[in-house]
Amino acid sequence: MAKRIRLEKRIVSESDRLAAGLARRFAEARVLVVNLMSSPGAGKTTLLEETARRMSGDLRMAVIEGDLATDRDARRILKAGIPCHQINTGGGCHLSARQVADALRQFDLGQLDVLFIENVGNLVCPAEFDLGERRRVVVASTPEGDDKPIKYPVAFHKADCVVLNKIDLLAATDFSPEAFRQFVRGLKPSVPILELSCRTGEGMEGWLTWVRTERQAAARGTPRGCD
Amino acid sequence: MAKRIRLEKRIVSESDRLAAGLARRFAEARVLVVNLMSSPGAGKTTLLEETARRMSGDLRMAVIEGDLATDRDARRILKAGIPCHQINTGGGCHLSARQVADALRQFDLGQLDVLFIENVGNLVCPAEFDLGERRRVVVASTPEGDDKPIKYPVAFHKADCVVLNKIDLLAATDFSPEAFRQFVRGLKPSVPILELSCRTGEGMEGWLTWVRTERQAAARGTPRGCD
């Protein structure tokens, strides 16, 4: 058992070392890097498609897509006119700093304003792994139920922003936005909670404002954690 | 790296050995054990509540609940009149055979017809771990999108039954039941796909029939994989 613990520590510290190096590169390039996490099907890819459509010409975006299998999401992003690189993890339940470092060969960071990393759809494992991102966003959606924050506390506790998607389905579900907000605030009192529907466009302006504001902070070149 | 591989092999074989022992116990007790997997919020707990309500007096049920945190789901199941034991995994992304073996101390298998194990909400990791179950059920839901089978192929490939929940939300989403069925059949041609809504009750009879049929097979005492 002692051997197992030592081994785990070594793997984690190697990953953290890589992530810290990525964070430095991102800060130097003054690019906003956002690590997007959610359950499968909460709407991460649709959020990026809609962001691309509305940001067109405004900010230079790129996307790294993480999925167990298929390049379906990358094809959707490319169709939206955004440079995109697909990572297939095989059975892997989260993206790693090593995979992100390798994927960066596909992009010229100096030519980007915002890089989104769409993690594997999984509300558990991705939360444990730093990818060097400046900001972490958790996307929840109303059909999943309002109790997800307290049932998956690590992901929500580490979030810099919580997006609540599919508010167009509120009337068709038992979801209580008030309960959801209370559960999130109980874990992280000051985190922004942005309620929106990628489908109807309601609330999208708030999300775009958050991205633009964070982009301006990244462009000032301060290291993450220092603003 | 060789050390890491040897260590992983040792952990997996210990887990498989435990699971094989559980499978023998379940077969001897002639109890149907179902391992339920899904994304967070697909409706596993609601399916169990509705199953309990409709099976009342018909079959003797019990539930093992797996969650990272909280006993919310166990409280819901107990309120439905069903014996239930909650496992909190902390950060753990799946239930283990060891956790199930420990939880069994709470139940008299000889007094049960069906034991449901509700795994952690995660469409990736639980699929890799045998818990000794006779049957594996994946619960998908329409708001997650029809492409989940090919994006999370391991879970669907290993399923003995696929439940498609929340068909009451079909009209409010872009979900294509035909595409979903094709994706599932591409991975596992003969798996039953049961379309239902726990909310409206539509399709629930098909699910109850599946449970009763599988219960009869388990009651014949044949080991799993031999019927």
**Which candidate from A70, A91, A143 shows the least CB-CB separation from B166?**
A143
Is B43 in contact with B144 (CB distance < 8 Å)? no
The pLDDT assigned to A1 comes to 46
Binned at pLDDT 50, 70 and 90, residue B225 comes out as confident
**Which candidate from B93, B143, B168 shows the least CB-CB separation from A166?**
B143
Task: Centre a 10 Å sphere on the Cβ of residue A64 and count the other Cβ atoms it contains.
Answer: 28
Condensed to tens digits (0 to 9), the pLDDT of residues B173-221 reads 999 999 999 999 999 999 999 999 999 999 999 999 999 999 999 999 8
DSSP A220: T
Mutation target vs A (from B9, B12, B93, B98; most A CBs, 10 A cutoff):
B93
**Which candidate from A4, A67, A93 shows the least CB-CB separation from B7?**
A4
- Dig out the tokens for B153 from the structure: 């192929």
B39 contact A CB<8A: yes
Condensed to tens digits (0 to 9), the pLDDT of residues A35-54 reads 999 999 999 999 999 999 99
State yes or no: pLDDT of A101 exceeds 90: yes
Euclidean distance between CA atoms B19 and A69, whole angstroms: 28
Instruction: Give B152's contacts in chain A (Cβ within 8 Å).
Output: 40, 68-69, 121
Task: Centre a 10 Å sphere on the Cβ of residue A209 and count the other Cβ atoms it contains.
Answer: 11
- Dig out the tokens for A215 from the structure: 């982009």
Plot region of B195 (φ>0 → left; ψ -120 to 50 → alpha; else → beta):
beta
Condensed to tens digits (0 to 9), the pLDDT of residues A126-183 reads 999 999 999 999 999 999 999 999 999 999 999 999 999 999 999 999 999 999 999 9
- pTM here is 0.94
Dihedral of CA B186/B34/B133/A92: which sign? Answer: positive
Q: What is chain A's Cα-based Rg?
A: 17
Task: List the 101-120 stretch of A: residues with Cβ below 8 A of B.
Answer: 120
Instruction: Give A150's contacts in chain B (Cβ within 8 Å).
Output: 69-70, 72
Instruction: Give B6's contacts in chain A (Cβ within 8 Å).
Output: none
CATH superfamily name and code, B15-217: P-loop containing nucleotide triphosphate hydrolases (3.40.50.300)
Q: What are the structural domain ranges in chain B?
A: 15-217
Is B44 in contact with B67 (CB distance < 8 Å)? no
